[in-house]
Amino acid sequence: MHTMIAEDLLNQMIPPLKVSDTVGKAAKWLEEFHVGQLPVLDNRRYRGLVTESDLLDFEQDDKRDQLLESLALGYANVHVQQDQHFYSIMEMAIQNKVQLVPVLNEAQEYMGVVTVNDTLAAFGQQPVAAGQGAVLVLSMEERDYSLTTISRYIEENNAKILSAHVAQDELDPYRIRLTLKVNTPNLTRIAATLERFGYTITAQFNGIGELGEDEQERYNALLKYLSL
């Protein structure tokens, strides 16, 4: 089973382009790999994504030898760190309407890409996707984190934690984000209990029709984007 972390979801079949590559090569690779974007590197530094629309002005044969370094690449800020989980990848892809998200290491060097399809496939291997449970994402101050305490609150609602992952909240260095898989699709009572004790619930996935309004919109947006 896949984990939910970016570095474990890397798609090694999609190669990056270099700033010294030509527009013609970029167009050929976009077609060969059936993607709408490809990452462009300067050594191991990520510079942005080249897209099909970027290349429309270079379709004439005499322009296909132009180098990618001469293009004004977009999406330079569209990337995730290697330890970020699938929820962050999904959000990044949906917000920017891209098929793939580059992954960087701690030194901000390029590691590879995660495709939205791969992310959804990993999500599909989780028990929640088979109707066996749900995923809950909590945000809290680091000092408030106690898996024992959180487990007790969940078990008081006749449920159990199947797995847990802790990562630093990208928006606040003093907070952490806890992703939980639980063995019940019904999160209503669990969410109410956790919120009563001061935990912030930032996301929950428990099957179409049972998501919170915001999460339903995000999930629907992802499925629509993938044309599923």
DSSP structure string for 179-216: EEEES-S--HHHHHHHHHTT-EEEEEE--TTSS-HHHH
Report pLDDT for 214. Answer: 56
Q: How far apart are CA 226 and CA 69, in angstroms?
A: 30
* Residue found by looking up tokens 């791969």 in the block: 118
Report pLDDT for 180. Answer: 83
Q: What is the pLDDT along the chain (228 residues), one digit of tens a residue?
A: 345 788 988 988 999 999 999 999 999 999 998 889 999 999 999 999 999 999 887 877 677 889 999 999 999 999 999 988 777 787 788 778 888 999 999 999 999 999 877 776 665 555 444 446 777 888 898 888 888 899 999 999 999 887 777 777 767 778 888 878 788 888 899 999 999 999 999 877 764 444 455 555 555 555 454 433
Architecture, CATH, for domain 128-225: 2-Layer Sandwich (3.30)
**In the numeric block, which tokens belong to residue 106?**
């701690």
Burial class (CB in 10 A: 0-12, 13-18, 19+), 7: middle
Of 178, 167, 171, residue with least CA distance to 201 = 178
Burial class (CB in 10 A: 0-12, 13-18, 19+), 1: exposed
Sort strands 100-104 and 110-115 into parallel, antiparallel or unpaired.
Answer: antiparallel
Report pLDDT for 219. Answer: 53
CATH of domain 6-122: 3.10.580.10
Instruction: Tell me the domain boundaries of the chain.
Output: 6-122, 128-225
